[in-house]
A = this chain, B = another copy of it.
Amino acid sequence: MTRPTALDLHLPDPLPEEVAELFHKCQEKLGLIPNVLLAYAHRPEKLAAFSRMYNDLMLGPSGLSKLEREMIAVAVSAENRCWYCLVAHGAAVRVLSGTPELGEAMALNHRYADLEPRQRAMIDFALKMTRASGEIEAADRETLRGHGLSEEDIWDVAAVAGFFNMSNRVASATGMVPNPEYHHQGR
């Protein structure tokens, strides 16, 4: 197996049951084990914590659709130039939307994506968080409210954008390699 990152880290041997089970579920559902999970698995508690947060954020209940959460993920990853996340989550946007051009535009320049004003406002907020979070003020949250976002929705935009600002950096810092399958999904 190719190493999932540029670090010389190894899966525990034998694989703890909960890790094996997670990997099995991925293989069944996605046809692959995302390298980010293989990377975290060198210490299973880290994998469990990461998966728990990821699953809640990206798949749990929210006023934001799953596609919208993936769009935020890609816009943030584009700002941070994260190879791993752009490839993996770019694919997710293409697949979830059924529109390859949308995935491309979010990864290359979101201004050319065909977004509803509410979505554009969410992306703009996520990008201000990415570039200059210390400059966010009450007016920025007020803009989101003006587009109909609830307090929980604002939290979710912040949490997803925050999460990918973490994830992008862990991926880039460790030289994480995207699974080659992603390149072809949803084209």
The interface of chain A, by Cβ under 8 A from chain B, is 6-9, 42-43, 45-46, 48-50, 52-53, 56, 60, 78, 80-83, 86-87, 100-101, 104-105, 107-109, 111-112, 125, 129-130, 133-138, 140-141, 151-152, 154-155, 157-159, 161-163, 165-170, 172-175, 180, 183-184, 187
Q: Which residues of the other chain, B, contact A165 by a CB distance below 8 angstroms?
A: 162, 165-166, 169
New A-B pairs, 7, CB < 8 Å, besides A50-B53, A78-B108, A141-B175: A7-B141, A9-B155, A46-B56, A83-B108, A111-B137, A166-B166, A184-B187
23 A-B pairs with CB atoms under 8 Å apart are A6-B141, A7-B151, A9-B151, A9-B152, A43-B152, A46-B56, A52-B53, A78-B108, A80-B133, A80-B134, A86-B109, A87-B104, A100-B183, A129-B172, A129-B173, A133-B172, A134-B172, A155-B174, A158-B169, A159-B170, A161-B169, A161-B173, A165-B165
Provide the bound-state CA to CA distance between A157 and B104, in Å: 27
Given contacts A6-B141, A81-B109, A134-B81, contact A167 B162 (CB under 8 A): yes
The interface residues of chain B lying within 8 Å CB-to-CB of A141 are 6-7, 173-175
Min Cβ gap A113→B in Å is 9
The chain B residue with its CB closest to the CB of A55 is B49
In the complex, A167 Cα to B56 Cα: how many Å?
A: 16
The answer to whether B45 touches A60, judged by C-beta atoms less than 8 angstroms apart, is yes
